Structure 1
Amino acid sequence: MKYNWFAKVYDELMDDSLYPKWAEYTSQYLTKENHILELGCGTGILALQLTKAGFDITALDLSSDMLSLAYDRQLEAGVRFPLVEMDMRNLSELENFDGVICYSDALCYIETEEEKGEIFSEVYEKLNQDGVFLFDVHSTYQVKEFDQFSYHDEVEGIVFLWDSYTGDKEYSVEHQLTFFVEKENGHYERFEEIHKEWTHSLDKYIELLKKAGFKKIEVSADFGQKVNDESRRWFFAAKK
């Protein structure tokens, strides 16, 4: 998928307080000696934080728009780490890693159980022995809570509207993003994007991980909490 105008306001939409929490969660399973791959790195905020903390990160995303902003962020901070434009469904050209991380519900942009299972298998093959796969997804509760969600805001030169509705499939949601972008003459041009996300049951994720070959799987919620019926994010730590 292409993010286009969404890439320009992505950081404004994100809760900055989440990045240190993802970094802390990562540090519970991986050390600075480990070689780590981040899937769905977006604009590179987490990869930048982990690199500054001494971690060895390679950051991957399908969107050239996101990676362009991640590169600009590197130049501004004076910090470098490899950026890879690639579909996470095919990692065959990459080297092996000690850890793979994928946060901010990036896997929810993958529609089917089969496709998620293929990604889990790709990750398993690219992990060194005893390597760990860390990721989060929206819970089924969170996806239901998205229905009728609405958020409106603006950044310099861009007014954006974010409205969410229940999708056609079970445990799916559609985010309708509308952007009004200011032109040189002061007029605004309208752009629209539809972003779709899908999640699955907790048991299904565990089943797919086991099928890919992972033996030891730890599940938690919302950055270290116990899973309950109202957990918003599920976290998985799967060891090869």
Structure 2
Amino acid sequence: MIYSIFAQVYDELMDTEVYENWLTFVNNNAYSGKKLLDLACGAGQLAVMLAKEGYQVTGVDLSSEMLALADERAREDDTKIELVQANMTDLTGLDQFDVVTCGLDSLCYLANQEELANAFRQVFLHLNQGGTFIFDVISPYQTDVIYPGYMYNDTNEKRAFVWESFEGQEPHSVVHDLTFFIAKDEENNLFQRYEETHMERTYELKKYLELLTKVGFKKIRASSEYGNNEIDEKSTRFFFVCQKL
């Protein structure tokens, strides 16, 4: 994947309100301290915002390209965050934290329930007693009803972006085909084409609750709309706040 291309375009397209809402969601639910691990931190938008709020942030991502972008963003904002390349299913060697966050359905990129359970187990092991795990996932309604047939296009003088989504082979899964045309010269006469395929998978609410309980979380709250609403049959995203007691 050309993560750097996707990250730059994604930054341009993503409504900053999403990160502001996530920041509020974390502030409202981070009960136990300021030492925070941001899993799948990507290009570092949320990690930098959290650091500016006074959290001691460690950002983890599997992609070195994403981490390079996160480091660049932190330096530009004169903000200190620690960045670590790691898979969320194996956080061996990392410290203990008061809060762990994983936003923007990053957990849905894990291939199966075993990987998801491993990620939950790793989070639990690296949380201090009383610590909080805050994350979101897309819902089966999003994968089964909203995404299939979805298309989004965005263009400007320097690039064009096409996003198409299709139903995946596994239950509650979706395939995103992304195509980029990026200008190669200053006159914007030549464009390079890049393609990426992203696959996401989610589960029914009861499965998430079952896996979280099995790894040891005792207090689990699930909601929609950043904790502001109850989950119903048309909720597109589940938000979780889990405490290690």
TM-score, with structure 2 as normaliser: 0.93
What are the residue-to-residue correspondences of 1:1-240 with 2, within 5 Å?
3-30=3-30, 33-144=33-144, 145-154=146-155, 157-184=158-185, 186-224=189-227, 225-240=229-244
Across the two proteins, how many residue pairs are aligned to each other? 240
Structure 1 segments of 4+ aligned residues over 6 angstroms from their partners: none
Separation in 2 of the partners of 1:55 and 1:155?
36
Q: Structure 1: 5+ residue runs without aligned partners? A: none
1:48 partner SS? helix
Shift of 1:156: 5.6
1:78 partner SS? coil
Contact 2:33 2:99 (8 Å CA) reproduced: no
Shift of 1:31: 5.4
Contact 1:31 1:55 (8 Å CA) reproduced: no
Q: Deviations over 1:178-226 (max 9, x none)?
A: 0112223731121111000000110000000011111111111121211
Shift of 1:33: 3.9
**Cα gap change, 1:155 to 1:81, in 2 (>3 Å):** farther
**Cα gap change, 1:156 to 1:64, in 2 (>3 Å):** farther
Amino acid at match of 2:77: A
Shift of 1:15: 2.1
Shift of 1:92: 1.1
Name which of structure 1's ranges 113-122 and 5-14 shifts more when overlaid on structure 2. Answer: 5-14
**Cα gap change, 1:191 to 1:98, in 2 (>3 Å):** same
1:28 partner SS? helix
Q: Structure 2: 5+ residue runs without aligned partners? A: none
TM-score, with structure 1 as normaliser: 0.95
Amino acid at match of 1:226: E
Separation in 2 of the partners of 1:93 and 1:30?
23
